[in-house]
Amino acid sequence: MDPLLDGYRRFRNETWPQQRARFERLAAQGQTPHTMIIACSDSRVDPQMIFSAGPGELFVVRNVANLVPPYMPDAAFHGTSAAVEFAVRVLRVGRLVVMGHALCGGIGALLRGTPPEATDFVAGWIGIAAGARTAALRCDTPDAQQEAGEHEAVRISLANLMTFPWVAEAVQAGGLRLHGAHFGVATGRLLLLDAATGAFTPA
């Protein structure tokens, strides 16, 4: 815990005094984030840092390989789907961004096999993006396959979002916009999915 507590002390001594009024306002008025980000749990990919966002601006859910499952309102546990429901139906965010990233371990596992230590949950979860493996393996090199898999996983998650009836309704009514993105860990570059062409281009 020592590294965490050291960070907390820096927060209390440096960040808190500067941001205190913002936190007090958020506590009194509640949160009204303008955007939901679905990102990977990878420790190198921090949406708030990437978008220079402060407290209260982004509603973020992170999971392995930034995946969204299809709409399945059953008795199973659906953490990502619950977050999407809350963001869209309760917070009424205006945009929802699925952000993949370079060097994604979840996509690597999808392409090359799940590590034997991560078969209880990871193998089934990344199966959401099974179609990305098919598309990626058409590429000639491992690097190209990895990137193609990451891009295709974003497209799959965006398509799955549209299976949620209230997401589709909000999009069709113009109250919600869906976006795809891809972050380069080594380059710091953000690519955006062009809805017209289906290609990722620099932001």
Is residue 143 located within the same domain as residue 84?
Answer: yes
Q: Are residues 10 and 44 in the same domain?
A: no
Same domain, 55 and 126: yes
- The reply to whether 84 and 6 lie within a common domain is no
Instruction: Tell me the three state secondary structure of residue 177.
Output: strand
CB burial readout 105-122, b (16+ within 10 A) else e: bbbbbbbeebeeeeeeeb
Whether 22 and 83 share a structural domain: no
Q: Per-residue confidence at 198, pLDDT binned at 50, 70, 90?
A: very high
Radius of gyration of the chain (CA): 18
Q: Within this chain, do residues 105 and 147 fall inside the same structural domain, yes or no?
A: yes
Look at residues 38, 31, 80 and name the one whose alpha carbon lies nearest to residue 57.
31
- In a shared domain, residues 48 and 9: no
Q: What is the mean pLDDT of the chain?
A: 97
Phi-psi region of 198 (alpha: psi -120 to 50; beta: other; left: phi over 0): left
Domain count, the chain: 2
Residues present in the chain in total: 203
Looking at the fold, whether 42 and 24 belong to one and the same domain comes out as no
Q: Encode pLDDT of 38-73 as tens digits.
A: 999 999 999 999 999 999 999 999 999 999 999 999
Please give the share of the chain, as a percent, with pLDDT higher than 90: 99
**Same domain, yes or no, for 87 and 166?**
yes
6/92 same-domain check: no
**Does 108 lie in the same domain as 37?**
yes
- Residue 124: give the domain boundaries: 31-202
pLDDT category at 116 given cuts 50, 70, 90 is very high
Query: How confident is the model over 175-194, as a mean pLDDT?
Result: 98
pLDDT digit string, tens, across residues 83-110: 999 999 999 999 999 999 999 999 999 9
Please list the residues that pair with 105 across neighbouring strands: none
Q: What CATH number should be reported for the domain holding residue 126?
A: 3.40.1050.10
Q: Please name the helix (run of DSSP H) or strand (run of DSSP E) that holds residue 75, with its range, or none.
A: none
Considering the domain architecture, whether residues 96 and 163 belong to the same structural domain is answered as yes
How would residue 148 be classed by pLDDT, with cut points 50, 70 and 90?
Answer: very high
